[in-house]
Amino acid sequence: MKIINEAEAVLSQALSIELRAGEIVYILHPGQILSFQGASAQREDQLMDIAGIYRKRKFVQSRISGPVKFMIGLPTGFSMQTIPITTGSDLLFEWKHVMFYTAGMKVDRRVQTFKNAVITRELVKMKFTAEDGLLGVISHGPLYRMELDPVRPTYVDVSCLVAYPENAQLKPVVYGNTLASQHMNYHWEITGKGYVLLQTSKSDGQLERDLDGGGFIKRILREVIPFGGVFIK
């Protein structure tokens, strides 16, 4: 399998995937397929219950077999990275972050606790196992790998966590002093062995307003100086 970025940039918005004869991938977001070069029969869409995640809610996946070439489009600001899945891999993912996986993988479900499901708005995590497989993972911004410590906790913003080891211990918390804890999103307190995957682009409305309109002092000057809004940009 060959993956080609269609732009010389980290956040390429289009990826081409070439499969050789005998190679098969499953696309979990088939609506992102922009173009397809191959026989019509080489794409087979299926109604799928991801390892029994939901009893009544089903998803559609595409089974694509080579030889074929197709292009996948990504939303603005998103990127895709391939993660090798080999014997002993124990990362847990949310289905929304998985663009594709190669044939031969076993997909198992892991149901979250009610409290964690309420915070993440996801009831089930997906675990992929294989002797030699490949996973295509999409994230908001580049994907970053961070090592965990079995004793010293790592605090990760809930909205930024893409994957974590099954053996890890997670607890939703806020941290810091009172002011800090009152002005932050929930974080996971994580301990364990292995690493977590983080999406590094995070929306911050206040930061964006500050960057667009200048700092705190400039905002005050615009208000107190006559015609400040005209002269102070």
Structure tokens at 174: 């806020």
- Residues 126-142: tens digit of each pLDDT: 889 888 899 999 999 88
Reported as a pLDDT band with limits 50, 70 and 90, residue 226 is low
Instruction: Answer for the pair 160, 197: CB distance below 8 angstroms, yes or no.
Output: no
The pLDDT, as a whole number, for residue 185 is 81
3-state helix, strand, coil in the chain (%, to 5): 20, 45, 35
Closest by alpha carbon to 94, among 71, 64, 62, 119?
119
pTM, entire model: 0.77
Instruction: Answer for the pair 140, 197: CB distance below 8 angstroms, yes or no.
Output: no
Strand partners, 26: 63, 101
Evaluate if residue 70 carries a pLDDT over 70.
yes
98: DSSP letter: E
Please give the mean pLDDT across all residues of the chain: 81
How far apart, in whole angstroms, are the C-alpha atoms of residue 10 and residue 7? 8
